Amino acid sequence: MPSVQNASNTSAPTQFLQASNETYAYRRLGSGPGLPLLFLQHFTGTLDNWDPAVTDPLASGREVILFESAGLGRSTGKVPDTIAGMATHALAFLDGLDLGSCDVLGLRQHGRAADGAGPSLYFSADDPRWHGTSRWGRHHAPR
């Protein structure tokens, strides 16, 4: 489904994607030549937790996709109890969107889920960068 060009994550419609026996809630906003940017919220965060002051400027040059993981907010299923489970849901969602490639921004545990999904994402990510999280307890600067 093509990106919805909305000025703000507060006006982007909530959409739903059926993938891997779950229904995931998400919002798409913005457009531009940059790779789409997938936002993974903190452990119990929902779509409504994202601050438009963060998401909206990033959507001026690329598509932004806000993702609500299993068992949270409007998404179905059980909240995963491991980092690997979070990564599995994020990958199922990305597979369902059929994106060729994207950047991923994750906060706290979902940042670690993005890190854990990294080896699976390398096939489509030219230069994976982990922002907004530490990698498995080691503090480091993004490469």
For the segment 38-95, what is each residue's pLDDT rounded down to a tens digit? 998 877 789 999 999 999 999 999 999 999 999 999 999 999 888 788 888 988 999 9
For range 27-41, the mean pLDDT: 90
- Token couple for 61: 């040059």
Provide the phi-psi class of 26: left if phi over 0, else alpha when psi is between -120 and 50, else beta. beta
Residue 83 has phi, psi (to 5 degrees) of -65, -40
pLDDT at 35 over 60: yes
Dihedral angle over CA of 75, 16, 46, 91, nearest 10: 80
Q: Residue 141: which pLDDT band, with cuts at 50, 70 and 90?
A: very low
Give the integer Cα–Cα distance in Å for 40 and 107.
Answer: 6
**How far does CA 110 lie from the centroid of its chain?**
9
Structural domains of the chain in order of their starting residue, each with its CATH number: 15-121 (3.40.50.1820)
Give the integer Cα–Cα distance in Å for 117 and 107.
Answer: 14
